[in-house]
Amino acid sequence: MSAVSTNGAPQTGHVGRALRRKEDPRLITGRARYVDDISLPGTLWAAIVRSPEAHAKITSIDTSAAKERADVHAVFTGRDLSDLIGPLPCAWVPPGVELNNPEHWPLARDEVNHVGDPVAVVLGEDRYAVIDAAEGVVVEYESLPVVTDPEKAIEGGPFVHEQLGTNKVHEWSLSGGDLDAGFAEAEVVIERRVVNHRTAGAPIEPRGVLAEHRAGSLTLWSSTQVPHFVRLFLAILLGMSEERVRVIAPEVGGGFGAKLQIYGEEILAAWCSRKTGRPVKWIETRTENMAVTHQGRDQIAHVKMGAKKDGTVTAWHVKILADFGAYNMLLTPLIPSLGAFVMGGCYKIPNVQTDIVGVFTNKCPTDAIRGAGRPEATHMVEVTLDQMAAELGIDRLEIRRRNFIPKEDFPAAVATGVVYDSGDYVKTLDKLLEHVDVQAFEHEREQQRANGVYRGIGFSTYTEICGLAPSRITGPNGVGVQAGGWESAMVRVHNTGAVTVYTGTSPHGQGHETGFAQIVADRLGVDPEVVEVIHGDTGTGPEGRNTYGSRSLAVGGEAVARSANKIADKAKAVVAHQLEAAPEDIEVRDGKFSVRGSPDKGMTLAEIAGAVYINEVPDGMEPGLEETTLYDPENFVFPFGAHACVVDIDAETGKVKVIRYVAVDDCGNAINPLLIEGQVHGGIVHGLGQALYERVHYDEDGQLVTGTFVDYGLPTAAELPSFETDRTVTPSPVNSLGVKGVGEAGTIAASAAVTNAVIDALRPLGVDYINMPLSPMRVWEAISEAQKGGVPA
């Protein structure tokens, strides 16, 4: 346990300590409760009949064989769900933007638009028998032409939704400064086509739903990141009062953005339970997860950067074609826009413009996957800056330093219209270079060359926008219609002095139970062990806004801190009343609320609770010790960092091996360095995995080629080096904790560091640019092309 706080001061409290996670014992001993561990008497199992076609009209559905089976209770098709109040939601309606948003129902009605589109549901008594029975549902399709290539789709037909007469979803732009003037000023202009391919969230636990409609009320357990949003839309779509709908996200075995969704299966299970009067359970198979759980990225960008000869970037223009797959889901069209706000990265670029076009294809829809738009933006700016450095013959780190927003400028209003709350980019880069000796690297590189291996190093200096909340900014930009972006926390001190925290965020691996307990423990003079953190249940605690956009700590954690502060203030008043002292003289010290200067004179939280619950409180004060906060910050928070990656490439096979990965991140004050390290590790794997291994691939007929973990290259520990991590601490001025998010930071930084390293390694072979995924085949092809003097891939 560390005795030094994150800012070097002596460690007195629990915040800042690398406490092991409170939740881990139950997780690693198999005692945690996931949706599939919950059984209700009389449950019907659901199996979903899905389309094998990427695009087709449904001409008939014959359910008779399935219905005849003794073990089948019911079979429903899209038409049976005609009493749903509306289709699945898309919650981004930006003012002034025309959005093509075709209806998307939990079961397809007339047409299927991607492989796996649901067509019918079979309910029965036995988990496995329903799967057999589903195979007995005969669906006749009339195949329609398929389009999977977004660049072809945007050119014209065939159309995914014929009635629209276009595959274009929308156009959206964000610009600041004067792009033309910026390019006029530039002495060098470079352009690249940057491909950010499609990936899957691939959580360990696939999705699962258990719905029980009973006596007019609905309880739904779902493996979701957003139980409060699921409740809202269940109520809307089923025409129920929210008060009669309870959604519980029990243990969630990873989400990575893929469970930030209102899925058809959630609505379907609830509808089926209401219809049959029985609990209904659906557990996704891995194959379904790969085919129908929303995917992410899938952007092709044409980027153009202008700079002066000294490397000063004068203009940065990005045109993104974003492949949304077959439908808009909850936030689909918003995702590329999230990247646009930080398109200028951590650089002082006066003229920045991002133009986005969304396009439908006959593929699974895309939406948020860890980083959601920001990894793509970072990849573009970081890779292009390296290209610019090469063009100008300037060192890659030097060009970064010349363009960094100086620390004196913070809070810094940037061209994209947002205000970066805090930053010290030189500090993180300098710290990175304490770990990475670039000169020594050059020596190693030569040695490796002598062995026939091409070694390269790549850097990524990033910033991101997170702590997604400020309703006053997100609302007018069309995000969170009917929602708002604050977060809630209720802290309750029980009669015994035990503490329960109800948070509106709901973790799926981040360790909130530990970090939030540390925050409260310090404020109330108790051990984190006696602070229970309750989450993911709309039936307990106040209304919440859940987990995405690395918001839990900066928004939810701040709400927890504020509620705990309110309790501490009340406790101080009670102690002052009991001990005949002034409230200002009461301090929390060594597990007690004691009188300053008289440490023996004090009360423990248990003693204070004893007093408040028998109403021994000052006149006019309510009994009890329970406080709620709904916190809506004034601004986002902008974590940043500097990452370096070293790779070796075998030019004969094109195989890339990551030798070293070093990350220095700055997420402000650390609540728990161990949690941060875990998040950074996981985040890096995500970005590195995309760069080198992971790719969702559809063939021209819209068939998913990467439908299992045999074909989808999820990296394992065997492929990865041991990560080296460090931090700098630049507190955020936005919240009292001084914290910024970290849940996506690693992912946002990593793919650019890896790609830049691969390009660096390949330069002696004549390859000066390459797009992900950096598979052996693609790297080998790029080398072959370059050797032939052709244009690299």
Binding site for ligand MCN (CB under 6 A): 203, 254-257, 370, 507-512, 515, 547-554, 557, 667-672, 675-676, 679, 682, 739, 741-744
DSSP class of 549? T
Taking the least distance from each CB to ligand MCN, the nearer of 371 and 602 is: 371
Q: How far is the CB of 127 from ligand MCN (least distance, A)?
A: 26
Question: Which residue reads 């005849």 in tokens?
Answer: 68
Is the torsion defined by CA of 758, 759, 763, 765 positive or negative?
A: positive
DSSP class of 257? T
Taking the least distance from each CB to ligand MCN, the nearer of 375 and 773 is: 375
Rg for the chain (alpha carbons), in Å? 27
Q: Give the Cα separation of 781 and 189 in Å (integer).
A: 27
Strand duo 56-62 + 138-143: pairing: antiparallel
Taking the least distance from each CB to ligand MCN, the nearer of 554 and 656 is: 554
Contact residues for 232 (Cβ-Cβ < 8 A; gap 6+): 242, 482, 483
Contact residues for 717 (Cβ-Cβ < 8 A; gap 6+): none
Taking the least distance from each CB to ligand MCN, the nearer of 333 and 549 is: 549
Among 541, 472, 462, 419, residue whose Cα is nearest residue 747:
462
Is the torsion defined by CA of 486, 492, 493, 499 positive or negative?
A: negative
Q: What is the DSSP string of 416-439?
A: TS-EE----HHHHHHHHHHH--HH
CA geometry: angle 499, 230, 531, nearest 5 deg: 10
Q: Give the Cα separation of 780 and 333 in Å (integer).
A: 35
DSSP class of 92? B
Tokens of 487: 């977060």
The number of CA neighbours under 13 Å toward the Cβ of 48 is 31
Tokens of 736: 């009292």
Q: How far is the CB of 590 from ligand MCN (least distance, A)?
A: 24
Taking the least distance from each CB to ligand MCN, the nearer of 133 and 368 is: 368
Residue 640 Rama label (left phi>0; alpha psi -120 to 50; beta): beta
Taking the least distance from each CB to ligand MCN, the nearer of 6 and 77 is: 6
Q: How far is the CB of 545 from ligand MCN (least distance, A)?
A: 11
Q: Give the Cα separation of 100 and 165 in Å (integer).
A: 11
Contact residues for 777 (Cβ-Cβ < 8 A; gap 6+): 654
Q: How far is the CB of 669 from ligand MCN (least distance, A)?
A: 6
Q: Give the Cα separation of 22 and 37 in Å (integer).
A: 21
Q: How far is the CB of 536 from ligand MCN (least distance, A)?
A: 12
Taking the least distance from each CB to ligand MCN, the nearer of 748 and 779 is: 748
Q: How far is the CB of 478 from ligand MCN (least distance, A)?
A: 20
Taking the least distance from each CB to ligand MCN, the nearer of 609 and 745 is: 745
Q: How far is the CB of 107 from ligand MCN (least distance, A)?
A: 28
Q: How far is the CB of 220 from ligand MCN (least distance, A)?
A: 20
Q: How far is the CB of 52 from ligand MCN (least distance, A)?
A: 30
Q: How far is the CB of 465 from ligand MCN (least distance, A)?
A: 12
Q: How far is the CB of 727 from ligand MCN (least distance, A)?
A: 9
Q: How far is the CB of 667 from ligand MCN (least distance, A)?
A: 4
Peptide bond into 158 cis (omega under 30): yes
Taking the least distance from each CB to ligand MCN, the nearer of 53 and 487 is: 487
Q: How far is the CB of 251 from ligand MCN (least distance, A)?
A: 12
Q: How far is the CB of 366 from ligand MCN (least distance, A)?
A: 14
DSSP class of 362? S
Contact residues for 734 (Cβ-Cβ < 8 A; gap 6+): 421, 467, 554, 633, 634, 635, 636, 637
The number of CA neighbours under 13 Å toward the Cβ of 674 is 16
Q: Give the Cα separation of 424 and 418 in Å (integer).
A: 17
Taking the least distance from each CB to ligand MCN, the nearer of 136 and 528 is: 528
Determine whether 591 is exposed, middle or buried from the number of CB atoms within 10 Å of its CB (0-12, 13-18, 19+).
Answer: middle
Taking the least distance from each CB to ligand MCN, the nearer of 389 and 676 is: 676
Q: How far is the CB of 544 from ligand MCN (least distance, A)?
A: 12
Taking the least distance from each CB to ligand MCN, the nearer of 43 and 679 is: 679
Which segments within 294-420 are labelled E, that is strand? Answer: 295-307, 313-325, 352-360, 412-413, 419-420
Q: How far is the CB of 249 from ligand MCN (least distance, A)?
A: 12
Taking the least distance from each CB to ligand MCN, the nearer of 266 and 513 is: 513
Q: Give the Cα separation of 145 and 368 in Å (integer).
A: 28
Tokens of 160: 């995914």
Taking the least distance from each CB to ligand MCN, the nearer of 370 and 643 is: 370
Taking the least distance from each CB to ligand MCN, the nearer of 176 and 509 is: 509
Specify the amino acid at residue 61. Answer: I
Q: How far is the CB of 134 from ligand MCN (least distance, A)?
A: 29
Spacing of C-alpha 673 from chain mean position: 20
Taking the least distance from each CB to ligand MCN, the nearer of 49 and 745 is: 745
Q: Give the Cα separation of 774 and 782 in Å (integer).
A: 10
Q: Give the Cα separation of 689 and 709 in Å (integer).
A: 13
Buried b (16+ CB within 10 A) or exposed e, 387-425: bbbbebebebbebbebbbbeeeebebebbbebebbbbbb
Taking the least distance from each CB to ligand MCN, the nearer of 170 and 686 is: 686
Residue 96 Rama label (left phi>0; alpha psi -120 to 50; beta): left
**Beta bridge pairs of residue 593:** 588, 603
Taking the least distance from each CB to ligand MCN, the nearer of 105 and 425 is: 425
Among 231, 356, 206, residue whose Cα is nearest residue 288:
206
Q: How far is the CB of 665 from ligand MCN (least distance, A)?
A: 9
